Amino acid sequence: MLPIEFLHRMEKMLGEEEFSSYLASYDTEKYQGLRVNPLKGSSQELKEKTGWELSAVPWAKEGYYYQSNLQPGKHPYHAAGVYYIQEPSAMAPAHYLDAQPAERILDLCAAPGGKSTQIAGAMQGQGLLVCNEIHPARAKILSENVERMGIRNAIVTNESPTHLAEKFHGYFDRIMVDAPCSGEGMFRKNEQACEEWSPENVAICADRQDEILEAAHEMLKPGGRMVYSTCTFAPEEDEGSISRFIHRHPGYEIVPVSMTEGMSSGRAEWTDDPAENMERTIRLFPHKIHGEGHYLAVLKKGSADPSVCEGSVSGGLEKGISEKECKEYLEFEQEFLQKNIHEQGIFVRFGEQLYLAPEDTFSLKGLKVLRPGLHLGTVKKNRFEPSHALALALKPEQAKNVTNLPAASYEASAYLKGQTLNTDGKKGWHLITVDGYSLGWGKLAGGVLKNHYPKGLRIQG
């Protein structure tokens, strides 16, 4: 049951005829989507290897609708990070962020990681991506998804936007603000969002959005690009949030962007005291597009000369540790990997855990950091144990020993369940792949491949 006050407001916004079409969308089949991970392979490869019928999501380069009879979340390719299952409308904001390689980019409210992983794909492993989430449990899920997708250049933090803004000043080229909201756009698929809705919660969300946008403003460099998005229809959180922000910071421009068929323009008349060019913002309605409800705005910060405004970060850069302090890892790399994968980056160590952080990583002191780059593995006395993250970040050609398992095979299923496998080959660490996609580690001795797939990820039964 939809809240009565919500229905009255939507009817007033849309008018009687369109409101009827909107209500009818609740009785239609929900669209399901996945986004191919360009760090792992191409959509053409996925189609050829699976035979799945996939149709393109018009606003996302690697986004596809899949049929409801498919279960891509249970396929070994999902465990290998070949794709990310994501609601189709949620793919639009990161598309409009237009991330480029070698930039410094912040995803400020990043969990569970859909937009972060989409941004990382566009960055092609180059530059610095900071993925932040304020809630610890959600930040952990974010970190796990960054790992599964094989992302090397991401730092995952668990901070408030306000605290981050105290550290970074005009630092990021682009910022994604997928703001916490009242979730009205998800009512079709999330009953809990419907049950928790109230006009008071809409107002609370709008106040929180104002605070988050202020923090983002502090961290965005002059001339930088920011995308603000929500999954709600509430004007107070959409056109209202953008208007209030621009009135506080008149140097910002709402950037004109192309819209695909079915997208709607933002409406100035739906908010008090609207900012100029509100029609340049975008609304996605479920009765007009194949997806759920979303809103987004693309903003450009008024610029000084970007070439003379590099931004600043308190604490300077992370120094890292020397290669001499990583001899166990370097010995592992020489014995089991085909080439140096640490050429771009710095070594960072926390206790026994060794990471490869992106070059020019800022000082991590004073921050809650869940993942300071690529987790290489655990340094133990006179030996090194590679991490699951390292396996997922490797291409098969980067490992000296590779055991490939066909996706439909008993062996692939057994490996994902944590079972040992019988195989021949060179003694030591083997990169386990499924149809050529990296999946995890195994250690071979005496014809038995000991399973090192993480216990928490293993399939039960």
Catalytic residue set: 231
Is the Cβ–Cβ distance between 356 and 386 less than 8 Å? no
CB atoms within 10 A of CB 247: 12
Residue carrying the six token digits 């903003």: 299
Q: What's the CA gap between 147 and 152, in Å, rounded?
A: 8
In angstroms and rounded to an integer, the radius of gyration of the C-alpha atoms of the chain is: 23
The DSSP secondary-structure symbol of 337 reads B
107 forms beta bridges with: 131, 176
Phi, then psi, of 12 in degrees rounded to 5: -65, -40
Residues 6+ away with beta carbon under 8 Å from 177: 108, 109, 212, 213, 216, 226, 227, 228, 229
182: left (phi over 0), alpha (psi -120 to 50) or beta: alpha
Return the C-alpha torsion angle 17, 14, 185, 72, nearest 10: 40
Tokens of 66: 């899949």
Among residues 238, 254, 189, which one has the least CA distance to residue 28? Answer: 189
Among residues 436, 435, 432, which one has the least CA distance to residue 452? Answer: 432
Alpha-carbon distance values, 389 to 55, 261, 392 (Å):
30, 39, 5
Q: What's the CA gap between 174 and 311, in Å, rounded?
A: 13
Q: What's the CA gap between 290 and 278, in Å, rounded?
A: 24
Residue carrying the six token digits 């980019």: 105
Alpha-carbon distance values, 99 to 46, 166, 226, 247, 461 (Å):
24, 24, 11, 27, 41
- Chain centroid to Cα 127, Å, comes to 15
Is the Cβ–Cβ distance between 39 and 304 less than 8 Å? no
Element (H, E) at 78: helix 76-79
